Amino acid sequence: MNTELDISRILNSFSRQKGIIIAVFVVVSALAAYLSAILPEVYRSSTLILVSPQKVPTSFVFSTVTTDLTERMQSITQEILSRTRLEKIVEEFGLYGDSKKISTMEDRVETLRRKINIEFRRNNIFQLSFESENPEKAKQVASRLASVFIEQNLQVREQQAIGTKSFINAEAERLRKELEQQEAQVNQFKASNRFELPDVLDANLRTLEQLRSELQASLARLSSLQDRRGALEKQLVESEIAGPEVSGIKGGAGTTTDVVLQNRKRELADLLRHYSHKHPDVMRLKAEIAAAEEDFRKEKTQSGGGRDITAPAVASPLSQVLQKQIGGLDAEIKSIQAQAEGLRRQVSLYQTRIDNTSVRGIELSKISRTYEITLKKYQDLLAKGLESELSENMEKKQKGEQFQILDPANFPLKPVRPNRQMIILFGLLAGLGGGFGLAFVWDNLNTSFRRSDDLSAYVNLPLLATIPALVTRSSVLEQRRAHGLLVVGSFGVLVIGLLCVRVFGPMYF
């Protein structure tokens, strides 16, 4: 019962405000019809682009363009949607030149930017679309935008490859100069300490061993000569003591020389028991014996058979020979002593070099460590430079990752909007809904009592009688005046709505 009463009240409320319902319905429907009539047809042309992978296997050539595809696409999109790029497209196709609402270049560029849509899909595919009132221009602009995308991608990849190569070459050149300086420092250190480096340690040890052997042999030779000289001095003293006795005997010279020869031969026999025939002392003694024999023959020839015992005393030939031999030994001893001194200096020099080898090795390792690190970095950069050059050539020959058009820009046969039937239908529904809603609100704002139940609910008094509404002249005029105001108000709202639709409708639909 309450439900029927409520429905009845609602229907009565709508019946009382039917003018408002009709006015709102007419105004909204008219605005929707006008909007559907003035909206231009918009065509959409789209193209499908595939990001094809690198054509050369990565096992042969590594690409230096390692930027993520999403980041690179965002960068390319920002570049293409920039004011400079879009201005060229606007001027190329003469877009929005005949529109009075879009007068400045900034507005035309902004309008073009809003009409471009880029949708990323899976499997490295993205769709690029453009909307225009002219289907032919929609196709042309979509094709142009796709080509700009492809060109910009190639340009970005090539610039990145060239930039990587330039950076690597610059770093390699810097390391090359640094390497040359360090190499010069190492070479200078090696040149200054070339005899004390670890590389010549074995040679220094062998040379030192050889010098020590030579020094030992020289000292042994010197000792032998000194012993020999002492023996000769002893013989010289003995010959000077025996000289006066031998000098008065005829043929004394021959006897003395014969004594010298016998002494030399005994010494030779003693040396042969200890040394071989090639020993220097043995060879020297043989030469002295040969010289003494030659002197003995010459003296015997010159004497002519002997001397007179009354001849004056002369120097003993034996003494002369001994002094001569001693003088030769002195010269040889001095020579060997000088040689031994030189050998000692060389031994000391090589010993110092060997002692300094460890220190020089540590110093050289410190200098060479930095050089080796720089050399390794330089070699790595050279290898990377070759790889970057290959990558650059691959990008220039368009063998790297590319954008490939799967579906070229189509010629749109029918517009994507506006959907005029939907706009009119929505306007009718909106008009009905708005009319009923406004009528219900307006009726509820009126607080006058229209039924007996309204009064009973408000006052706790019994209702004795009800008087029906009386139609008078003033009430009729009042009702006509309200209807007139409703018509005028509806017409004003309609005019204002038409102006708003005319101005703002194409902008938002």
Instruction: Write phi, then psi, for 402 (nearest 5 degrees).
Output: -135, 165
Q: How far apart are CA 203 and CA 164, in angstroms?
A: 50
Alpha helices in 83-134 (DSSP H): 83-93, 105-115
What pLDDT is recorded for position 294? 74
Q: How far apart are CA 399 and CA 55, in angstroms?
A: 5
Q: How far apart are CA 390 and CA 165, in angstroms?
A: 10
Alpha helices in 248-316 (DSSP H): 252-272, 280-303
What pLDDT is recorded for position 229? 80
pTM score > 0.75 for this model? no
CA 445 to mean position of chain CA atoms: 78
What pLDDT is recorded for position 348? 92
Q: Burial level of 132, CB count in 10 A (0-12/13-18/19+)?
A: buried
What pLDDT is recorded for position 459? 65
The residue ranges of every structural domain in the chain are 2-36+418-508, 43-171+385-407, 200-360
Q: Nearest-CA neighbor of 157 among 88, 81, 89, 79?
A: 79
Q: How far apart are CA 86 and CA 105, in angstroms?
A: 10
Kindly report the CATH number that applies to the domain delimited by 200-360. Answer: 1.10.287
Using an 8 Å Cβ cutoff, are 120 and 126 in contact? yes
Q: How far apart are CA 300 and CA 283, in angstroms?
A: 26
Kindly report the CATH number that applies to the domain delimited by 43-171+385-407. Answer: 3.30.70.1130
Q: Which residues contact 31 (CB under 8 A, 6 or more apart)?
A: 427, 494, 497, 498, 501
Give the per-residue SS3 of 26-88: HHHHHHHHHHHHHCCCEEEEEEEEEEECCCCCCCCCCCCCCCCHHHHHHHHHHHHCCHHHHHH
What pLDDT is recorded for position 163? 82
Q: Tens of pLDDT along the chain (509 residues)?
A: 344 446 766 666 666 677 788 888 888 888 888 888 888 888 999 998 887 766 666 656 666 666 666 777 787 888 888 888 888 888 888 887 776 666 688 888 888 888 899 888 777 788 889 988 889 999 999 999 888 888 887 787 778 788 888 888 888 899 899 988 988 988 998 888 888 888 888 998 999 999 899 889 888 888 888 887 887 777 777 766 655 444 443 444 445 566 666 767 777 776 777 667 777 777 777 777 777 777 767 766 665 544 443 444 444 666 777 777 778 878 888 888 888 899 899 999 999 989 999 898 898 888 888 888 988 998 888 888 887 777 777 666 666 667 788 888 889 888 888 888 888 899 889 888 887 888 777 767 666 655 656 666 666 766 666 666 666 677 667 777 877 787 787 888 888 888 887 777 666 55
Per the DSSP assignment, residues forming a β-bridge with 127 are 48, 119
